[in-house]
């Protein structure tokens, strides 16, 4: 899967069935090239460089399923 395909998917929290946003970035392990974390943006930050609030960071272990249209995650909020 390409990153361009991954970033088009909506991220849904299975605990409350709420849409968290879309993947905007990810952190990779330099040693083995595996994904460590995905970073979610809710799209409401028009000028995000002026905003001090962090995006949602989801460890890879909390991703439950990557489907054709959505990514399901299990996080406490």
Give residue limits of the domains in the chain: 3-73
Architecture of domain 3-73: Roll (2.30)
Cα separation, 47 vs 51, whole angstroms: 7
Cα separation, 43 vs 24, whole angstroms: 9
pLDDT tens track for 7-64: 889 999 999 999 999 998 999 999 998 999 999 987 665 545 555 556 899 999 999 9
The reported pTM is 0.81
In terms of Cβ atoms closer than 10 Å to its own Cβ (0-12, 13-18, 19+), residue 22 is middle
Question: What are 35's two structure tokens?
Answer: 């994904």
The Cβ-side half-sphere exposure at 58, using a 13 Å CA radius, reads 26
């Amino acid at each position: 899967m390409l990153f361009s395909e991954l970033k088009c998917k909506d991220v849904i929290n299975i605990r409350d069935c709420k849409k968290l946003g879309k993947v905007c970035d990810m952190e990779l392990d330099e040693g083995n090239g595996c994904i460590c974390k995905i970073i979610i943006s809710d799209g409401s930050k028009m000028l995000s460089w002026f905003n001090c609030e962090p995006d949602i960071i989801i460890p890879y272990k909390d991703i439950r399923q990557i489907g054709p249209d959505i990514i399901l995650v299990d996080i406490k909020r």
